[in-house]
């Protein structure tokens, strides 16, 4: 056979096999899809996925295979994989796959992408409204999505719509009650919880939510009764035991609280927060041996928890284990060298060990660190504070009930930007970049000299008239005096001086800005002075949410809002107002203001960082981790610490 004939024969055979394989594959894709569908309906998810993988390998454009595989991954809790497959399905055949949008909304809710979840379910609701098939269940699902964003008014509206559609499941009343609790309509919340409980007396969430509301109202015994009922349904609910322990602490019943912390630890031996709280209670009873064992466990679970190290050092000192105590103090200092008190505590310990030279050196270091802390600018101080708060975080993965886990209990935002007397070579106040590339005093002088100054496109300022020089000099003196008073914590005197400036010119934005900052600083320093070690075992998130809001924050909110009204492109005013809104528990408003801040100044690392924290608290974790990454890229190094602690699992 000639070479040419052989080539033609091989080509014919290849063509034949290619054709037959293609026909076989087409035939079996439909068969495999049907078999996969049956496996899916019988909850044989792994079997279904094997068939669907083959379908997709043979026919990559088969959108039904992606849809079914997305459902399998959804039920197997592979949320990122499920979202990817459902997105592929709707991108291939968008018009008719409303079930794909529906499932993707549930998956995005799991992932913390609440806005994405709402967008998807809006599409489903819109389609069903057109078909006159809209169900109340869809509105309740959207209500839960909105609840995660704390859009309480929208939640209540959707729940009421579901009621009009004759949807009457307990989750509707539970959701509505949670929204009413969020806007402090506690009586209405309790009524809705009662209806939900009547419809489904076996839902543990209802009892835990009722208990939290009772606790908020100071009805601790009633709260304990609700947690007890929850535990009758699920005796392994560490969340119910933990909340009940907190309620007993508020009733000063340490014995009962101890029993409940013991229950949490029995069920979850890795719960560092429960060990810590139990250790504090044991130390208060002078049961130092057991307390030491608990703090040993905390340090094992969270080796960088400075508070546990310092508590353990104090207990070791009481037990005359001076070397062990010295080691803990030294470890704490190595982890966080700006905790001034630790140097003095270690110095006293060295005196007890007759190491007078070492004690003298620590006293000297303590004095140096005290002076250094006074000279560190607010940005550095904010970094220190945030780093310390991360080190105080304790692992506590509670189970039982659909509550928000307190995995961000000890996260706090970067504080407001403070004014300062020191100026850099560029004329900007250190840690307080101000409009017009002017220092604080220059901007204030401009305000008082001519409040109607026009800005040229170049950013320079052109005054229409001179005049009012005396007022400008007086304002200079008042500002410098007020800043000095603030640094000395003479807040009322500083506020009087800022108010005097505003009295002369009500359009002076920088004076309102300074006054708002002054209010925030006074509140926070007063709060720090009122804290004591007796409160360390109370969950910080729970206390923050249920503590009455400091009314003075509302005054600061008004001041920053006035600045924004007068200077709408001042990113730092939005940043500071966002911080105040966070303190007023208006998370949505805070996130919106951080959005404005980064739109105006895309290099604003602190704003990305703070927005990330709020998004993470709201369980919008993917976007939060993106913000942390952006903050890190812009030079905020502690963002990488939080990425390591909180984002590794999210981004896998």
More confident residue, 52 or 384: 52
Q: How many CB atoms lie within 10 A of CB 280?
A: 22
pLDDT of the residue at 446: 42
pLDDT tens for each residue of 404-445: 222 222 233 555 554 443 332 322 232 233 333 334 444 444
β partners of residue 462: 454
**Choice among 82-86, 340-344, 506-510 with the minimum mean pLDDT:** 506-510
User: CA–CA distance from 555 to each of 377, 455, 551 (Å)?
Assistant: 25, 29, 7
Highest mean pLDDT among 125-129, 386-390, 557-561: 557-561
- What average pLDDT does range 523-544 have in this prediction? 39
Q: Output the average pLDDT for the chain.
A: 74
Residue 104 has pLDDT above 80, yes or no: yes
Distance of alpha carbon 428 from alpha carbon 415, whole angstroms: 19
Residues 6+ apart with CB under 8 A from 230: 204, 207, 208, 211, 237, 240, 400, 401
pLDDT of the residue at 443: 45
- What average pLDDT does range 266-290 have in this prediction? 88
**Choice among 205-209, 398-402, 475-479, 628-632 with the minimum mean pLDDT:** 398-402
Distance of alpha carbon 400 from alpha carbon 182, whole angstroms: 21
Residues 6+ apart with CB under 8 A from 491: 485, 518, 519, 521, 522
pLDDT of the residue at 468: 44
- Domains plus CATH for the chain? 3-96 (1.25.40.10), 270-403 (1.25.40.10), 435-451+468-601 (1.25.40.10)
pLDDT of the residue at 398: 61
- What average pLDDT does range 487-510 have in this prediction? 76
Residue 211 has pLDDT above 60, yes or no: yes
pLDDT tens for each residue of 349-395: 999 999 999 999 989 888 887 777 666 555 555 555 555 555 555 65
pLDDT of the residue at 6: 35
Residue 402 has pLDDT above 60, yes or no: no
pLDDT of the residue at 11: 35
- What average pLDDT does range 262-284 have in this prediction? 88
pLDDT above 90: percentage of residues in the chain: 18
More confident residue, 42 or 221: 221
pLDDT of the residue at 226: 94
Q: How many CB atoms lie within 10 A of CB 225?
A: 17
What values do phi and psi take at 200, rounded to 5?
Answer: -145, 85
pLDDT of the residue at 214: 92
For residues 261 and 284, is the Cβ–Cβ distance under 8 A? no
pLDDT tens for each residue of 159-186: 999 899 888 888 889 989 999 988 989 9
Burial letters 188-216, b for 16+ CB under 10 A, else e: bbbebbebbbebeeebbbbbbbbbbbbbb
User: Quick check: helix, strand or coil at residue 635?
Assistant: coil
Residue 584 has pLDDT above 60, yes or no: yes
**Choice among 154-158, 261-265, 465-469, 635-639 with the minimum mean pLDDT:** 465-469
Distance of alpha carbon 503 from alpha carbon 517, whole angstroms: 18
pLDDT tens for each residue of 181-205: 889 899 999 999 999 999 989 988 8
Torsion over CA: 268, 272, 274, 275 (sign): positive
pLDDT of the residue at 588: 81
pTM: 0.51
Residue 324 has pLDDT above 90, yes or no: yes
Residue 523 has pLDDT above 70, yes or no: yes
pLDDT of the residue at 245: 92
């Amino acid at each position: 056979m000639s070479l040419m004939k052989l080539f033609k024969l091989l080509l014919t055979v290849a063509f034949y096999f290619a054709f037959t394989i293609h026909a076989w594959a087409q035939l079996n894709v439909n068969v495999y899809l049907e078999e996969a569908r049956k496996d899916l309906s019988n909850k044989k998810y792994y079997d279904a996925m094997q068939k669907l993988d083959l379908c997709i390998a043979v026919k990559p454009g088969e959108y039904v295979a992606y849809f079914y595989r997305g459902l399998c991954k959804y039920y197997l809790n592979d949320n990122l994989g499920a979202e990817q497959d459902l997105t592929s399905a709707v991108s291939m055949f968008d018009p008719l796959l409303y079930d794909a949008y529906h499932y993707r909304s549930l998956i995005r809710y799991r992932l913390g992408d609440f806005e994405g979840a709402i967008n998807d379910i809006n599409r489903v609701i819109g389609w069903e409204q057109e078909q006159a098939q809209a169900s109340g269940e869809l509105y309740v699902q959207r209500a839960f999505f909105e609840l995660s964003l704390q859009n309480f008014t929208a939640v209540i509206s959707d729940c009421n719509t579901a009621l009009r559609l004759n949807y009457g499941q307990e989750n509707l009343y539970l959701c509505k009650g949670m929204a009413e609790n969020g806007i402090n309509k506690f009586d209405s919340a309790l009524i809705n919880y009662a209806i939900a409980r009547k419809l489904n007396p076996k839902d543990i969430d209802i009892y835990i939510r009722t208990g939290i509301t009772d606790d908020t109202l100071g009805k601790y015994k009633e709260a304990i009764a609700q947690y007890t009922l929850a535990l009758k349904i699920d005796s392994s609910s560490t969340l119910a035991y933990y909340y009940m322990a907190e309620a007993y602490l508020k009733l000063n019943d340490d014995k009962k609280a101890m029993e409940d912390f013991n229950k949490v630890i029995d069920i979850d031996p890795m719960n560092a927060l429960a060990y810590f709280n139990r250790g504090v209670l044991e130390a208060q009873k002078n049961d130092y041996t057991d307390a030491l064992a608990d703090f040993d466990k905390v340090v094992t679970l969270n080796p960088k928890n400075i508070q546990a190290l310092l508590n353990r050092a104090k207990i070791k000192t009481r037990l005359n284990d001076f070397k062990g105590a010295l080691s803990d103090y030294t470890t704490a200092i190595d982890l966080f060298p700006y905790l001034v008190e630790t140097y003095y505590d270690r110095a006293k310990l060295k005196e007890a060990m007759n190491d007078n030279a070492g004690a003298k050196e620590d006293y000297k270091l303590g004095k140096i660190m005290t002076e250094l802390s006074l000279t560190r600018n607010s940005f550095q101080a904010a970094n220190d504070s945030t780093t310390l708060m991360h080190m105080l975080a304790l692992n506590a993965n509670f189970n039982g009930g659909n509550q928000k886990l307190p995995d961000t209990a000890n996260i706090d935002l970067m504080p407001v930007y403070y004014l300062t007397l020191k100026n850099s070579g560029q004329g900007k106040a250190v840690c307080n970049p101000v409009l017009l590339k002017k220092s604080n005093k220059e901007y204030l002088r401009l305000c008082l000299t001519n409040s109607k100054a026009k800005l040229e496109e170049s950013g320079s300022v052109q005054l229409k008239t001179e005049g009012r020089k005396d007022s400008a000099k007086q304002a200079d003196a008042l500002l410098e005096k007020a800043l000095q008073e603030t640094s000395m914590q003479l807040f009322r005197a500083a506020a009087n001086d800022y108010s005097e400036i505003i009295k002369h010119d009500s359009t002076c934005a920088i004076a309102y800005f300074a006054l708002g900052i002054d209010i925030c600083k006074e509140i926070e320093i007063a709060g720090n002075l009122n804290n004591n070690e007796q409160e360390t075992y109370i969950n910080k998130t729970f206390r923050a949410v249920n503590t009455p809001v400091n009314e003075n924050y509302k005054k600061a909110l008004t001041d920053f809002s006035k600045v924004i009204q007068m200077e709408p492109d001042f990113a730092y005013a939005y940043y500071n107002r966002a911080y105040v809104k966070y303190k007023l528990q208006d998370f949505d408003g805070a996130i919106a203001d951080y959005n404005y801040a980064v739109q105006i100044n895309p290099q604003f690392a602190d704003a990305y960082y703070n927005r990330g924290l709020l998004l993470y608290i709201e369980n919008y974790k993917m976007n939060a981790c993106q913000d942390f990454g952006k903050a890190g890229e812009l030079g905020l190094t502690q963002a990488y610490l939080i990425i390591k602690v909180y984002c590794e699992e999210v981004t896998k």
